[in-house]
Amino acid sequence: MGMTLTEKILAKHAGRDRVEPGELILAKVDLALGNDVTSPIAIDAVRKLGVREVFDREKIALVPDHFAPNKDIKSAGQMKMMREFAREYGIVNYFEVGRMGIEHVLLPDEGLVVPGDLVIGADSHTCTYGALCAFSTGVGSTDLAAAMISGEVWLKVPSTLRIVLSGKPGKWVEGKDVILHIIGKIGVDGALYQAMEYAGDGLASLPMAWRFTISNMAIEAGAKNGIFPFDGATRAYADARAKRTFEIVTADKDAKYAAEMGVDLSALEPQVAFPHLPENTKPLSQVGNVPVDQVVVGSCTNGRIEDLRSAASVLRGRKVHDGVRMLIFPATQEIYLQAMREGLMEVFVTAGAAFSTPTCGPCLGGHMGVLAKGERAIATTNRNFVGRMGHPESEVYLANPAIAAASAVLGRIGSPDEIR
């Protein structure tokens, strides 16, 4: 019996010929990641154990991004703790404010994650790198501490849900809509403990940016990881950025899948997830009249240059509605610079939107765009749980960057086609 993409990568990193779903394995990690919220607990643990050396100074990445730039005195303390640890332990991949970005956009763009890798991160959206045909998954701070010390992680081999994409997406449909549609179908625990593996001729119309968005939200279906096969798009991205050599992994023809579902991309409309779960999706045409107070474009889900271009294409020559605050967060300094060079920043600022330095800030209600009681936002982020962006009685709707930008102009959730 053959193996799925996930099984193959896990077997290789466990030094095994094969692995089966349900098995517990000890696997070597190519990169272990932490941020300013999760690293302090891991750092504390490493120090308390009296460990003076990490397993590999180049295979750990520490990125202050959640409450960076320092939002208050306590978070400044957490950031300082990370910085001092990085210096003391010689962590090569520590990214300071001004050189940093949102971890899940930064690390693949910096070429620190390559196809075939096994990556763990103390952040649930670590599953983003599946877009590169790598295995990556979110873990907790204690797992991060253990990996920093040993270079290994315990994993249960997941069974795989195969998702076959067909057709070509229509106007205003992006990667975000593909994953919101899937989560709407299977639910927030529809792929609990499973790997989601994408396949089908529809892959040809998914650029890398969209694949990152789709893999990013695998966790929102309860999945361990969301992985794409290696193809020309992966090759082009990896060749341009990879800092290490990589090995191409392919799924076996006779691999065994726990289940299979199909998605016809040509039948998709832009999707909007209603509060308070990502599974509460509706096609845009069925949303009705939903006024918004704030619009956020950014995050590890949709803060790439392609996302900013999409939002800018809608905003160009238009103004943000009087009753709306629009906030735009390029995910990295590189993207920030690119947006400036392409004139996107001018489009945003002229339209009356705020353009920020990279941060996760508002996505988790941290800072830089927290909602008051009763306020409503549409965001290109990944979660719309109770209180996610601020007050427990505020609301978050999830959508793609074009729909978010159109909503900023309209003052309510809507399509770019409705703007005259």
Give 3 or 389: the residue with its C-beta nearer to another protein. 389
149 near another protein, rule: CB under 8 A: yes
Q: Which residues contact 250 (CB under 8 A, 6 or more apart)?
A: 5, 8, 229, 230
Lateral strand order in the sheet of 60-63: 93-94, 60-63, 31-35, 118-121, 135-138
Give 172 or 397: the residue with its C-beta nearer to another protein. 397
Tokens 């939200």 label which residue? 217
- Three-state secondary structure of 153-214: EEEECCCEEEEEEECCCCCCCCHHHHHHHHHHHHCCCCCCCCEEEEECHHHHHCCHHHHHHH
What's the gap between Cα 52 and its chain centre?
32
Whole-angstrom distance, CA of residue 283 vs CA of residue 285: 6
Tell me the two tokens of residue 155: 């994993």
Touching another protein, residues 48-107 (CB under 8 A): 49, 66-67, 71-72, 74-75, 78
Q: How far is the CB of 223 from another protein (least distance, A)?
A: 8
Task: State residue 201 phi and psi, 5-degree precision.
Answer: -75, -15
Helices 39-48 & 141-150 angle (0-180, nearest 10)? 50
Position among 145, 178, 324, 409 found at the interface with another protein (CB under 8 A) = 145
Give 24 or 259: the residue with its C-beta nearer to another protein. 24
Q: How far is the CB of 20 from another protein (least distance, A)?
A: 14
Give 284 or 371: the residue with its C-beta nearer to another protein. 371
Whole-angstrom distance, CA of residue 30 vs CA of residue 60: 9
150 near another protein, rule: CB under 8 A: yes
Q: How far is the CB of 100 from another protein (least distance, A)?
A: 18
Query: Parallel, antiparallel, or unpaired: how do β-strands 281-283 and 271-273 relate?
Result: antiparallel
Tell me the two tokens of residue 180: 């919101």
Give 224 or 325: the residue with its C-beta nearer to another protein. 224
Listed ranges 41-49, 107-115, 169-177, 205-213: which one lies at the site for another protein (CB under 8 A): 41-49
Q: How far is the CB of 29 from another protein (least distance, A)?
A: 13
Of 162, 155, 168, nearest in space to 2 by CA: 162
Q: How far is the CB of 140 from another protein (least distance, A)?
A: 4
> Which one-letter amino acid corresponds to residue 183?
I
Touching another protein, residues 254-293 (CB under 8 A): 277
Position among 15, 88, 154, 343 found at the interface with another protein (CB under 8 A) = 154
Give 134 or 188: the residue with its C-beta nearer to another protein. 188
Listed ranges 7-15, 242-250, 320-328, 380-388: which one lies at the site for another protein (CB under 8 A): 380-388
Position among 21, 44, 256, 357 found at the interface with another protein (CB under 8 A) = 44
Coil, strand or helix at 81 = helix
Give 13 or 388: the residue with its C-beta nearer to another protein. 388
End-to-end CA distance of the chain: 57
Strand blocks (E) in 319-370: 325-328, 354-355
Listed ranges 82-90, 184-192, 241-249, 336-344: which one lies at the site for another protein (CB under 8 A): 184-192
Give the number of residues in contact with another protein, rule: CB under 8 A: 50
Q: DSSP letter at 131? A: G
Listed ranges 93-101, 136-144, 227-235, 317-325: which one lies at the site for another protein (CB under 8 A): 136-144
- Binding string to another protein for residues 16 to 35, with x set by CB under 8 A, is what? --------x-----------
> Which one-letter amino acid corresponds to residue 318?
R
Q: Positive or negative, the Cα torsion across 384, 118, 95, 105?
A: negative
Q: How far is the CB of 40 from another protein (least distance, A)?
A: 5
DSSP 308-342: HHHHHHHHTT----TT-EEEE--SBHHHHHHHHHT
Q: How far is the CB of 294 from another protein (least distance, A)?
A: 17
Residues contributing to the site for another protein (CB under 8 A): 24, 37-38, 40-41, 44-45, 49, 66-67, 71-72, 74-75, 78, 121-124, 126, 138-143, 145-146, 149-150, 154, 156, 188-189, 192-193, 219, 222, 224, 277, 364-366, 370, 383, 385-388, 392
